[in-house]
Structure 1
Amino acid sequence: MIPVQGVENQTIAVLGLGRSGRATAAALAEGGANVVVWDDGVDTREKAAADGMTVLDMTRERNWEGISALITSPGIPHLYPKPHPVIAMAYELGVPVDNDIGLFFRSFATRDWDRFDTAPRVIAITGSNGKSTTTALIHHILHEAGRPAQLGGNIGTGVLSLEPAEDGEVVVLELSSYQTDLARALTPDVAVFTNLSPDHLDRHGGPGGYFAAKRRLFAEGGPDRAVIGVDEVEGRYLADQLSMSPADDRVIRISSGQKLERFGWSVFARKGYLSEYRKGRQVASIDLREIKGLPGEHNHQNACAAYAAARSVGIAPREIERAFHSFQGLPHRSQTVAEIDGVRWVNDSKATNVDAAAKALTAFQNIRWIAGGMGKDGGIEALAPHLGQVVKAYLIGHSARDFALQIGQTPYEIAETMEQAVVRARAEAQPGETVLLAPAAASFDQYPNFEKRGEHFTALVQALTA
């Protein structure tokens, strides 16, 4: 646990008692704060009281007397579509609102660091797609290189549940737009922006607000090194804002598809090869084509981001390459579940939007595509250019019939359920083909989250080998 600094003898309220809320309450108490908590759920409040927490109804103005700050969980709206009533009351009363990410960054450095040979560092990753894979890959590289490292944030351990840093350690954090949007302190040593595509727009008041939430990671604290994906205009804008000239190597531009030679420092992948350029000269290259844990151009972009971040903290190219080959990938993200009778079965349940599904569809050939669920605004018509490798689609869930009207001449059948889709794909798939779960939709019509959807697919596929 990382005790929160600067809160001794203050009364601080915590809103939301999920994993991060409970960890925040414990870290505040460890730092000497008097902690009161509130959650909208009656059962959650009762459990908190049974666990010895002080539950205080923060919807009543009289209970705000003496409250120094309100710490809210990331999932609770603080601005759009409208602030949660407790947060709105904090604004009216002038009580500062923060989240666990802000508390982490103001509490991470301690006096113990005075005796360290090498100060600990933080690498923070944000973006729309590829955050989790990039974060896990960076952590894996550090581990394989023998560097002490911890993994947390939106993946793995909550930030305040991490252990205090040791000498030379690197903490690798995945940060969502929900987390970066509100944090009052954001001071990573290395900040990574993977890419941007429309997502969570209701929460951020539109695409501008969504990008602004991501941009705060770079604008608030000024990282020593910024790794920026420049395959979208927002990334090119951000890189331009952060650099003093094209030769400014504090900004490392990355790309999957573009050749970036004119900048002070760049890392890009083209035709399956990763290249690192410094001051117009190539200094390293890695063949990504046979790395099974990183299939497709979208994973090559993740590889570029992780490579650049690792180079920023002194990891050598050959050490990074070795780590790439031992990386197994993350569940539900282009994860090969099995190969049965020459057919590859791939779980990309995390592909919950059109952009992520497009990346998955371009990573494989001869695809039998399982798609559908709770479709998002705009449908999947934008996937039309990426369906050339689809032999047949098996459509499931709430939006199956809507999707059928949006995939042009691509052969399909309405399978309704995951079980039926797997049965039909198994019966029809030929050697050399890939059965790909890339839903292009949320899971909430049939599953509580994309993980449960992916786990169900995996279990069904594994049962085929029994």
Structure 2
Amino acid sequence: MRFDEPVLLYGAGREARSTRAFLKARQPDLKIYVTVDSGEAGIEEAEFLAPAELKAAIAARRFGLIVKSPGVSRYKPIFDAARAAAIPVTSNLNLWGLAYRAGRRVIAITGTKGKSTTATLTHLMLEKSGIDAGLAGNVGLAPLDIADRHETVVFELSSYQTADMSFLPDIAGLTNLYPEHVDWHGSVARYFADKLHLISREGDFRVGLGAGAATNALVLAAVSDHRRLLPPLPRTEDDALTVAVTASRLKGAHNLDNARLAAQLALAAGATREGIAEGIAAFQPLPHRLEEHRFGETLFVDDSISTTPEATKAALAAYHGRRIALIAGGHEREQDYGELVRLIEGHGVTTLVCLPVTGFRLAQAAHAAAPGVEVVPAHDLTEGMQGLAGRRGRFDTVILSPGAPSYNQFKNFEERGDRFVALARELFATSQ
């Protein structure tokens, strides 16, 4: 693979740095440009191009390829201008496909929720079965960083990556499908199509479906040949898996579903029953996903990675029987919270802290649908946690599961989760 013209990196995050290292190793003297819509453009040995300069740069063909970071929407008009000028737009993942796909088994996993857990479990099950496997994508390494190190690569992919994925996997997994990321994709229909692009293309690859995908009409229509679908686990293996999950760090019925799908995918790639059980036992919860902390007499659950109502519902179901204070709300994506609000009382929620911006809609809906739940509006997480500190007799568990992205008040969900834990320690670590 050789690049005859300069390359523009659109974005300057983890994948952009990975792409820069790949290009430098291949062609040390290749001219590299970088542009960002916001933030720092700190890419080594790259010339910065302001977004306002891109249209003129495209017209002048100052570069012959654009490598787009996942967080940059492929539907930005500037990419239409690039394609019209015969300048291709690609990604770190697709460059991996060109450079390293041949001779390797690829397991690609996506879904609205549960894809990170499912991909991590699949990788562990393969490793414990003695299979040379690596983990890349949104978890593990950036695709180009994993390069050709392993015979089998498990990719955890977002809709941003599946939207224009140019190569086929050997095995594909889809956990579930709910509306999300409409701001990036432009519509719910386009989000669904971009997510389903992983499984809707013609090819000789197998497809495993999680419980939330197997009954979805859109998903089933996307798999044109149902003979490609992996069969459910046999009863004896499913029983053994349930026992293993019950004894593991995996919490909630949704994680049992994730483990089932991971086992299907791993078995299709040659995993053993023993390897599946050992992989489940070795699983460590991902940061900010049902991550437990105890301060004083109260259990705090950091589920800051929750950005959809479905993820919040799964978090509540995982703590059945507890008296719960739920902290929810965040960046507005026009998601439907009606079903979530209707079930909170039945899931043990006594107190609901509502954070901007979606928290305003949650508060209104809760007043009507859950009159037994005390609603605590808050301008920010600090005010919300201070409100809970004065109501600690109403709950034994506090769950931060916002059901919305974080970036109206935080840089990312990690910062939001860290702040939650710090406030819990500060306000609840000593009895009052």
Short-chain TM bin: 0.7 to 0.9
1:259 alignment partner in structure 2: none
Whether 2:150 is the aligned partner of 1:150: answer no
2:91 alignment partner in structure 1: 99
Say whether the 8 Å CA contact 1:192–1:226 is kept in structure 2.
yes
2:82 alignment partner in structure 1: 90
Whether 2:181 is the aligned partner of 1:200: answer yes
Shift of 1:310: 1.3
Higher strand proportion (structure 1 or 2): 1
* Segment drifting more, 426-435 vs 12-21: 426-435
Say whether the 8 Å CA contact 2:12–2:36 is kept in structure 1.
no
Equivalences for residues 161-172 of structure 1 within 5 A: 161-166=145-150, 169-172=151-154
- Identity score, percent: 28
Distance across 1 between alignment mates of 2:310 and 2:303: 13
Give the length in aligned residue pairs: 415
Matched residue SS, 1:71: strand
Distance across 1 between alignment mates of 2:12 and 2:170: 30
Q: Which amino acid aligns with 2:73?
A: P
Distance across 1 between alignment mates of 2:416 and 2:108: 28
Shift of 1:109: 3.8
2:194 alignment partner in structure 1: 213
Distance across 2 between alignment mates of 1:124 and 1:324: 19
Distance across 2 between alignment mates of 1:384 and 1:244: 38
- Structure 1: segments with no counterpart, 5+ residues: 1-5, 111-118, 253-264, 267-275
Say whether the 8 Å CA contact 1:344–1:432 is kept in structure 2.
no
Distance 1:458 1:105, change over 3 A: same
Distance across 2 between alignment mates of 1:392 and 1:15: 43
1:258 alignment partner in structure 2: none
Distance across 2 between alignment mates of 1:62 and 1:347: 45
Equivalences for residues 216-235 of structure 1 within 5 A: 216-220=197-201, 222=203, 224-229=205-210, 231-232=212-213, 235=216
Distance 1:398 1:434, change over 3 A: same
* Segment drifting more, 187-196 vs 292-301: 292-301
Distance across 2 between alignment mates of 1:72 and 1:337: 38
Normalised TM-score (structure 1): 0.79
Distance 1:89 1:414, change over 3 A: closer
Matched residue SS, 1:192: strand
Matched residue SS, 2:135: strand
Q: Which amino acid aligns with 1:305?
A: L
Distance 1:223 1:126, change over 3 A: farther
Q: Which amino acid aligns with 1:19?
A: R
Shift of 1:429: 4.6
Distance 1:77 1:310, change over 3 A: same
Distance across 1 between alignment mates of 2:311 and 2:259: 16
Say whether the 8 Å CA contact 2:127–2:275 is kept in structure 1.
no
Q: Which residue, 310, 323, 328 being the options, matches 1:371?
A: 328
Whether 2:338 is the aligned partner of 1:381: answer yes
1:113 alignment partner in structure 2: none
Whether 2:14 is the aligned partner of 1:36: answer no
2:74 alignment partner in structure 1: 78
Equivalences for residues 174-323 of structure 1 within 5 A: 174-183=156-165, 185-220=166-201, 222=203, 224-229=205-210, 231-232=212-213, 235-239=216-220, 241-242=222-223, 244=225, 248=227, 250-252=228-230, 265-266=231-232, 276-277=233-234, 283-285=237-239, 286-287=241-242, 290-323=246-279
Matched residue SS, 1:157: coil
Q: Which amino acid aligns with 1:137?
A: L
Distance across 1 between alignment mates of 2:128 and 2:164: 34
Point out 4+ residue stretches in structure 1 off by more than 6 angstroms: none
| Deviations, residues 433-461 of structure 1 (Å, cap 9, x unaligned) | 42211112222232111111111112233
| Deviations, residues 6-27 of structure 1 (Å, cap 9, x unaligned) | 2254543332233222322331
| Deviations, residues 309-346 of structure 1 (Å, cap 9, x unaligned) | 111111122321232133221111122223743x4321
Say whether the 8 Å CA contact 1:134–1:305 is kept in structure 2.
yes
Shift of 1:404: 1.8
Shift of 1:421: 3.7
Matched residue SS, 1:287: helix
1:136 alignment partner in structure 2: 120
Matched residue SS, 2:423: helix
Shift of 1:375: 4.1
2:362 alignment partner in structure 1: 403
2:350 alignment partner in structure 1: 391
Distance 1:52 1:219, change over 3 A: same
* Segment drifting more, 391-400 vs 446-455: 391-400
* Segment drifting more, 58-67 vs 403-412: 58-67
Shift of 1:381: 2.4
Distance across 2 between alignment mates of 1:222 and 1:413: 52
Whether 2:313 is the aligned partner of 1:335: answer no
Distance across 2 between alignment mates of 1:62 and 1:452: 37
Whether 2:3 is the aligned partner of 1:25: answer no
Higher helix proportion (structure 1 or 2): 2
Shift of 1:231: 3.0
| Deviations, residues 42-74 of structure 1 (Å, cap 9, x unaligned) | 9845x44xx433556543257644844322222
Distance 1:237 1:376, change over 3 A: closer
Say whether the 8 Å CA contact 2:168–2:205 is kept in structure 1.
no
Distance 1:370 1:432, change over 3 A: closer
Matched residue SS, 2:404: coil
